[in-house]
Chain A
């Protein structure tokens, strides 16, 4: 059984520091939802509020529609996987996993059986009688997941559980976690500062900065149509140009820069705010002749061949650097350093965006 979580205008203050600032989000039952943001932006604080270790200063948290105010952590249907896992080192693995059942008064034989089943689920059969210190990082990870699953929570909260693992294992565990989530149907709330992780695993992602939720959307939307400059530059790479907006209308506008005027999509909520123009390197094309629209003459600077793509740095006449990422389809030619080219981008694939929601705004 899974439950939805509703964060209704939640704030959390530590002294006069606001760690979480008016967060509103409605997470669906069975959803894999990620909070993505840089270190210190308030992700752990949100999880601690949902699991009941920290009370929100204002706002309401509902799990399965029920207001959680005053509910102790041991009364909530949530299972938290800690940033450092927090396994019990003095208990063998199976007792770790069965601890939640022990608490619920399940008898020993049943506990043992259930622990073995869960070990099976996380691909760790045969580890029941080992001690925590005898396991590798990835195995500990899985024990932590099994321990959390044992209490059949409606909501699983995961606080950067993969951050301690090496790249290979991390990728493997991503897939594993996703499978376990699908298999159990439990709502997962996943915290990470790794954008690749968030995009690859989640149904929806909430991007955070300085305690504020900047955008909540599917991974595709986050990447393709970021709501503001923070999201655009935190998720993926961008060419960022400064300038000013002219002739807005029909969702498009002109953007005036020292080296030309461009047409671009005008992001929502951009009116009347400081804005910049964002173009992803993979949406830049390089050609020998200038295009009709949104074309900048550049001198080719650094060129680096990365295998599946080629990164070309172009320098405009006023010295601004632009990056184009060209797909290597096998016949792509590498432009010579110092040659004159034009960089062109599609108006629909560039965006004029406000900087981002600042704390206290």
Chain B
């Protein structure tokens, strides 16, 4: 603070602080607080707002337990509230996407951090970024074209005689692929950062002691990369759980993502109060899930912030 003052003078420092405060209070906290407040109020016609019926309650939140739905999993039949089911499958598929991105990103990050010569690194990073120049919606539609029933993927598989009838890809399969494709770089970079900070001599020391490559990864490289894995996993998981574009475009009718439920409350039912309540349910439970997972894998919050 004092350093800022000395360096930039009172006016500039004041401006910095005012801008930061404005951003934080007006653009971040205020809208979220309004949402939170309205999530506890009922959805009412305009004339009744502020009237007798307008009081705080958990009613919007509790509707998540409505609409029982019959389903089966692993041969077991049971009834579960529909929106809980949607929520659970959103969490499940987001976690699955996180695991898949990790499996894909790990070798890429290792290659970039420890194998490739520093000279070709900028080129490779550029190649990784090129797909991001295309907008997310175009990328999702491109995948949609690939995955359609009469699309190129089925044509290829039929042509190679790998399948003899076209496969219905659109659904959770294509959503997983789309999400992995969209978010894999959010896993690559934290992993790359973590691995890059590992002293290569440690890898060589392990090898010198007789360690085969997989054990060196398991005992030396992976533990060192843990903070990177954690921050990559949290990022990818949260992005997936909060994603709406990819599930909407690639999911077809068989996929229901929790964000779509929120969207339909807000845009179809025009019930912003329930929409806000569901959004906070998603946020809160995702945070709980993430902390739970961090507990399981023994990751501290300070590791992620590194």
CB atoms of A99 and B201 under 8 A apart: no
**B204 at the binding interface (Cβ < 8 Å):** yes
**B211 at the binding interface (Cβ < 8 Å):** yes
Partner of B204, one of A86, A87, A148: A86
How close is A350's CB to chain B, nearest CB, in angstroms? 45
Most buried by A among B207, B212, B219, B220: B207
CB atoms of B202 and A88 under 8 A apart: yes
**B305 at the binding interface (Cβ < 8 Å):** no
CB atoms of B212 and A80 under 8 A apart: no
Q: In the complex, A84→B204 CA distance in Å?
A: 12
How close is B303's CB to chain A, nearest CB, in angstroms? 12
CB atoms of A84 and B208 under 8 A apart: no
**With contacts A90-B223, A90-B224 known, is A103 near B211, CB below 8 A?**
yes
Most buried by B among A74, A102, A147, A148: A74
CB atoms of B211 and A74 under 8 A apart: yes
**A104 at the binding interface (Cβ < 8 Å):** yes
B:9-33 near A, CB below 8 Å: none
B196-209 near A? 1/0 per residue, CB < 8 Å: 00010110111111
Q: In the complex, A147→B201 CA distance in Å?
A: 15
**A51 at the binding interface (Cβ < 8 Å):** yes
CB atoms of B199 and A86 under 8 A apart: yes
Q: In the complex, A102→B210 CA distance in Å?
A: 10
CB atoms of A103 and B209 under 8 A apart: yes
Q: In the complex, A104→B211 CA distance in Å?
A: 8
A:50-104 near B, CB below 8 Å: 51, 53, 72-75, 78-80, 82-84, 86-88, 90-91, 99-100, 102-104
How close is A86's CB to chain B, nearest CB, in angstroms? 4
Tell me the nearest residue of chain B to A99, going by C-beta: B209
Q: In the complex, A188→B202 CA distance in Å?
A: 21
**B215 at the binding interface (Cβ < 8 Å):** yes
CB atoms of B204 and A53 under 8 A apart: yes
A/B pair count, beta carbons within 8 Å: 61
A26-62 near B? 1/0 per residue, CB < 8 Å: 0000000000000000000000000101000000000
**A201 at the binding interface (Cβ < 8 Å):** no
How close is B198's CB to chain A, nearest CB, in angstroms? 10
Q: In the complex, A52→B163 CA distance in Å?
A: 48
**A151 at the binding interface (Cβ < 8 Å):** yes
Chain B binding surface, main DSSP class: helix
**With contacts A82-B204, A82-B205 known, is A104 near B199, CB below 8 A?**
no
Chain B contacts for A151, CB-based, 8 A: 209-210
**With contacts A90-B224, A103-B215 known, is A72 near B207, CB below 8 A?**
yes
**With contacts A86-B202, A88-B202, A88-B220 known, is A80 near B215, CB below 8 A?**
no
Chain B contacts for A73, CB-based, 8 A: 204, 207-208
Chain A contacts for B212, CB-based, 8 A: 74, 103
Tell me how many residues of B have a C-beta within 8 Å of chain A: 17
CB atoms of A100 and B220 under 8 A apart: no
Partner of B208, one of A51, A102, A150: A51
CB atoms of B199 and A100 under 8 A apart: no
Q: In the complex, A82→B220 CA distance in Å?
A: 16
How close is B285's CB to chain A, nearest CB, in angstroms? 32
Tell me the nearest residue of chain A to B211, going by C-beta: A103
Q: In the complex, A104→B224 CA distance in Å?
A: 22
B:145-171 near A, CB below 8 Å: none
How close is B232's CB to chain A, nearest CB, in angstroms? 19
A:103-152 near B, CB below 8 Å: 103-104, 147-148, 150-151
Chain B contacts for A80, CB-based, 8 A: 204-205, 208
Chain A contacts for B224, CB-based, 8 A: 90
**With contacts A84-B199, A84-B201, A86-B199 known, is A99 near B208, CB below 8 A?**
no
Chain A contacts for B206, CB-based, 8 A: 88, 99
CB atoms of B223 and A100 under 8 A apart: no
Q: In the complex, A335→B180 CA distance in Å?
A: 85
Partner of A100, one of B201, B204, B210: B210
How close is A61's CB to chain B, nearest CB, in angstroms? 15
Chain B contacts for A147, CB-based, 8 A: 209
Q: In the complex, A86→B206 CA distance in Å?
A: 9
Chain B contacts for A150, CB-based, 8 A: 209
B223-267 near A? 1/0 per residue, CB < 8 Å: 110000000000000000000000000000000000000000000
B174-211 near A? 1/0 per residue, CB < 8 Å: 00000000000000000000000001011011111111
Chain A contacts for B219, CB-based, 8 A: 88, 91, 99, 102
Q: In the complex, A124→B8 CA distance in Å?
A: 54
Chain A contacts for B208, CB-based, 8 A: 51, 53, 73-74, 78-80
CB atoms of A104 and B210 under 8 A apart: yes
How close is B211's CB to chain A, nearest CB, in angstroms? 5
CB atoms of A74 and B210 under 8 A apart: yes
- For the complex of A and B, 7 pairs with smallest distance between CB atoms: A86-B201, A100-B209, A86-B205, A103-B210, A103-B211, A80-B208, A90-B223
Q: Which chain B residues have a beta carbon within 8 Å of chain A's beta carbons?
A: 199, 201-202, 204-212, 215, 219-220, 223-224
Q: Which chain A residues have a beta carbon within 8 Å of chain B's beta carbons?
A: 51, 53, 72-75, 78-80, 82-84, 86-88, 90-91, 99-100, 102-104, 147-148, 150-151
Please give 4 more A-B residue pairs, beta carbons under 8 A apart, in addition to A88-B205, A90-B224: A73-B204, A73-B208, A74-B208, A150-B209
